[in-house]
Amino acid sequence: MPTNAAQVEELRWKKISVLDDGFVCLVDVMGDDQAVVQAARVSYGEGTKKVSDDRGLIRYLMRHRHSTPFEMAEIKLLCRVPMDTWRQWIRHRTANVNEYSTRYSLAIDATQRTPPDQWRTQAANNRQGSGDLLSPEVGAELTASELALQDSARKLYERRIELGVAREQARKDLPLSTYTEAYWKVDIHNLLHFLALRMDSHAQLEIREYATAIGEKIVKPLFPYVWEAFEDYRLGAMFLTRLDVELISRLTAKLSANGRVAATEDDFLEVQDPTWKDLTRSRERDECRQKLVRLGLLPPT
Ligand SMILES: Cc1cc2nc3c(=O)[nH]c(=O)nc-3n(C[C@H](O)[C@H](O)[C@H](O)COP(=O)(O)OP(=O)(O)OC[C@H]3O[C@@H](n4cnc5c(N)ncnc54)[C@H](O)[C@@H]3O)c2cc1C
């Protein structure tokens, strides 16, 4: 199995741009695909070598969620990220973090700015997410007022510093769009958990862009077998609950009894889980419907 030494040298300290002024870059890495395999062979013994090659072993471990071998490799990043996105990122407790101190140093003089054509509406069907884009005309007004607010907040901050206010107090009215920087070190198991949550379409677009950059531009070249298995068994996979499995089995039985191949929404509602039947809205039923659409068992809604 090839090591990742050449990729590490190519990536180290190379800033990968994210958003308008952010970046992620690799500072250090411990281990490669081989480190995962080596750890697994210690726990499973020499026997594993005979029955599976390295790639196959990594795929087996990922499929069966044997996580500890993936904890044997670690990655350290430097990231520059707006504070609102950092607030979501920092919730992942299994990393080690050192953040730029705005008590000790002047706050970074950069804010994330939204161009006129990138303002998003509130999603109609999801209280947490975004919907379509607002018109660029409305966006132009929003971008202009954002600039004015950010400039005025920065001037106020600098004036406070000039007048002798402590940095720890002067910062309190800086907007959440202000960039911060941090070192972030995490093992590959917990990094993949972060990526699975934050590359997902339910995650906010801004953090999704960071997660995608980390995954595609750093983890993929450094851990090619791990990344391939992660794409196959996590990112591109689908989780079926007991309720989903039983519904699919009722649906396919109904179709074959009627000599049909394509199901309709009425078929779906008829075979839905009994606990959903009386609910006008059910998130679980909606999720199940989407899985069936993905499986080609229901037409897209
Ligand atoms: C789309 C999305 C929406 C979200 N919305 C909200 C929200 O509205 N409000 C909100 O507060 N948060 C929200 N979060 C944050 C979310 O609830 C988690 O806090 C965050 O994703 C970190 O996940 P984690 O705890 O699994 O990760 P980590 O902290 O990295 O932990 C990894 C795993 O380690 C284990 N672990 C770590 N620490 C402990 C511990 N102390 N005790 C037991 N087990 C532990 C758990 O198994 C955990 O899954 C959201 C996250 C996402 C992705």
Q: How far away, in angstroms, is 213 Cα from ligand 1 center?
A: 21
Q: Which positions are annotated as active-site residues? A: 198
In this predicted model, what pLDDT tens digit does every residue of 2-20 receive, in sequence order? 578 899 999 999 999 999 9
Q: How far away, in angstroms, is 92 Cα from ligand 1 center?
A: 6
Computed over every residue of the chain, the mean pLDDT equals 94
| CA-proximal residue: ligand 1, atom 22 (nearest) | 92
What residue spans define the domains of the chain?
Answer: 5-104+177-235, 116-173, 242-294
Binding site membership of 197 for ligand 1 (Cβ less than 6 Å):
yes
8-state DSSP, 2 = -
Q: Given pLDDT bands bounded at 50, 70 and 90, which one contains residue 203?
A: very high
Check if the beta carbon of residue 112 is closer than 8 Å to that of residue 105: no
Ligand 1 atom nearest to CA at 95? 30
The CATH label, of 3.40.50.360, 1.10.1040.10, 3.20.20.70, 3.30.1360.170, for the domain at 5-104+177-235 is: 3.30.1360.170
Q: Given pLDDT bands bounded at 50, 70 and 90, which one contains residue 49?
A: low
Binding site membership of 193 for ligand 1 (Cβ less than 6 Å):
yes
Q: How far away, in angstroms, is 72 Cα from ligand 1 center?
A: 22
Binding site membership of 64 for ligand 1 (Cβ less than 6 Å):
no
How many CB atoms within 10 Å of residue 19? 20
Q: What angle do CA 79, 208, 297 make, to 5 degrees?
A: 155
Average pLDDT over residues 215-232: 98
- pLDDT score of 1: 58
Check if the beta carbon of residue 108 is closer than 8 Å to that of residue 179: yes
What are the angstrom distances between the C-alpha of 27 and each of 53, 170, 295?
Answer: 30, 31, 41
Q: Which two tokens stand for residue 163?
A: 């007048």
b/e sequence 108-133, b meaning 16+ C-beta within 10 Å: bebbbebebeebeeeeeeeeeeeeee
- pLDDT score of 2: 55
Helix (H) or strand (E) holding 183: strand 179-187
